[in-house]
Amino acid sequence: MRVTIEQRTLRFRRPLQTSYGALAQREIFELAIEGADGVPGRGEAAPLEPYDGVSDDRARAALEAYRPILEDGEALAGGELLDACRAADDLPQALAAVDMALWDRAGRRAGKPVAALLTDSVLGEVLVNATIGAEDRAGAAASAEAARRAGFRCVKLKVGIGDDAGRVAAVRAALGPAPELRLDANGAWTVDEAVRTIDALAAAGLELVEEPVHGLGPLRDVRERVTVRIAMDETTDVPGALASGAADAVCLKLARCGGISGLLACASLVRASGAEPYVASTFDGPLGIAAALHAAAALRIQAACGLATLDLFTDVEHTLAVRDGTIAVPRGPGLL
């Protein structure tokens, strides 16, 4: 197969403040494959070192290790190709690009959207949340008002930076009582800090709090001591986390799961534990968001997914527009 790898810089419209620092831009790697039949497939690797510890150089090295395997893999089935790449370098963020490209190529060959290859019963659109960075009260309120006017039914606010009570109150006042409000602390708190803060903020009407602390034991402790639902995010990297039942909900991301195939398997483990899965991005590009939409639609996920992130960038053209708090699943062959 013919293989190309291109690096692309995505720049945020304004720096996004999180508990692990401000993000001004991020790098992604677009992988394209094309078989002798002329049918292409595209995928995307989206490492985010401050979040997952995977550097851009590490991701590129893994993709380059896959190149000769893909080039010589015309006769192999998709699963065999993915296994061969995994044996060469087991890096989920890079394997996600291969997995996406193989699903994209399969959809194009079949003349069907990827979601239709995954199941016969797919959602036509996926509910998504707006994301508000750790801005001051006025900025957070203005972003919440804009989200409400745009029809979002769920808003996620980054917390763990400071003035959380003031910012949460400002956001809830701007949203009104109806939209769901979820918080994301990115593990910024200790157990006691998390319990104290969540108890203080619960009156604002919280759908859930995502990753208030890191670790299975701490998450269990917080969950047992508060009335608000607790979601797991970064802690999913801990062995056994997905089936642990340590949280009420689990945030799954394509890059961390190794692509669509891995995300579907992860969602099965989460559901078997009694927790609710939902899907979010690591500020991916259009291919990553499209792949996540196909996966969420095939899984028929009902919770709002964190996939309305493309408009955070200044230089990304896409057709995955948010309408009334949802994004329509692409209906063309392949991913997009």
Catalytic residues: 158, 253
Three-state SS for the chain is CEEEEEEEEEEEEEEEEECCEEEEEEEEEEEEEECCCCCEEEEEECCCHHHHCCCHHHHHHHHHHHHHHHHCCCCCCHHHHHHHHHHHCCCHHHHHHHHHHHHHHHHHHHCCEHHHHHCCCCCCEEEECEEECCCCHHHHHHHHHHHHHCCCCEEEEECCCCCHHHHHHHHHHHHCCCCEEEEECCCCCCHHHHHHHHHHHHHHCCCEEECCCCCHHHHHHHHHHCCCCEEECHHHHCCCCCCCCCCCEEEEEHHHHCCHHHHHHHHHHHHHCCCEEEEECCCCCHHHHHHHHHHHHHHCCCCCEECCCHHHECCCCCCCCEECCEEECCCCCECC
Round to whole Å and give the CA distance between 4 and 109.
19
Provide the residue type at 34 as one letter: E
